[in-house]
A and B are shown apart, each in its own frame.
Chain A
């Protein structure tokens, strides 16, 4: 019998490489299929009676915004495991997901601005939802900047992990900002929507498919970037051995 734990691939780099070799392309393929189907439905559904064709913006804006929050949860969990349990793979996982999270957050802000201008008459307003998402982006950028700023990689990883954990406070603020404050941004229309405020059924399928596409893309890109960081670590360790051997 194999004594190894089934989740061993989350802590053992060798097993993670074996797992991610097939999981990354599989997730990428499923994401591409969901994305193509989602885009087909995006342009098949009728325009909204109030928002017109801008309603199609929803199918790229909501997934980018919600997955950017999910990625930060992953960053927080990985940072916690790296900081408290000294899991090297968790540290690489945290490092790998920050740039993806930053891009998703930028996409949420840019598509939101392009949706806001025709609907609200403004590219940007300092309301609680928009401002808290901007703060989320600043946490991602701060995390990456901190990791790159210090020469000592261990110190940089520790400082960045602490910053990531502090940033978790912002997540409920982003999520509940539309309930806690009077915002121009609308309230929940998918998960947690009040009766009557929810998404009409005809828009639910493209929203779901695009959500799965964005989620799958994150999963696939995350695995690929962790693999790259494992190789980088191995390359650096080999460089040390080569330097010792050359002496």
Chain B
């Protein structure tokens, strides 16, 4: 068995399908991590402000 990357006349359909899927997953991972990081930092910043206000 060997790798078969030659899709012949179907390459024009096959590779865009894999490309779109890869881009979609990259975007979902980046967006989810960025969203989590942003709100974690915002929470920490506001908590620090509140602690400062209390002290």
Contacts of B35 in A (CB 8 A): 224-225, 228
Most buried by A among B2, B32, B38: B32
Contacts of B2 in A (CB 8 A): 44
Asked if A158 is an interface residue, CB under 8 A from chain B, the answer is: no
- Number of A residues near B (Cβ < 8 Å) is 39
The answer, among B20, B42, B49, B53, for a CB contact under 8 Å with A231, is B42
User: Given known contacts A57-B14, A111-B20, A114-B16, is B46 in contact with A221 (CB within 8 Å)?
Assistant: no
The answer, among A47, A64, A100, for a CB contact under 8 Å with B4, is A47
CA of A238 to CA of B45, assembled, Å? 10
The answer, among A54, A111, A234, for a CB contact under 8 Å with B10, is A54
User: Given known contacts A44-B4, A110-B17, A115-B17, is B43 in contact with A100 (CB within 8 Å)?
Assistant: no
Nearest CB of chain B from residue A207's CB, rounded to whole Å: 15
Q: Are A64 and B39 in contact, with the CB atoms below 8 A?
A: no
- Number of B residues near A (Cβ < 8 Å) is 38
Closest to A116 in B: B13
CA of A46 to CA of B16, assembled, Å? 20
Contacts of A100 in B (CB 8 A): 28
CA of A235 to CA of B49, assembled, Å? 11
Q: Are A111 and B21 in contact, with the CB atoms below 8 A?
A: yes
User: Given known contacts A53-B10, A224-B33, is B3 in contact with A241 (CB within 8 Å)?
Assistant: no
Q: Are B4 and A110 in contact, with the CB atoms below 8 A?
A: no
Q: Tell me the B residues contacting A by CB distance below 8 Å.
A: 1-11, 13-14, 16-18, 20-21, 24-25, 27-29, 32-33, 35-36, 38-40, 42-43, 46-47, 49-50, 53-54
Can you give 14 contacting A-B residue pairs, CB < 8 Å?
A: A44-B1, A44-B2, A47-B4, A53-B10, A54-B10, A114-B13, A115-B13, A118-B13, A221-B28, A221-B32, A227-B40, A235-B42, A235-B46, A241-B50
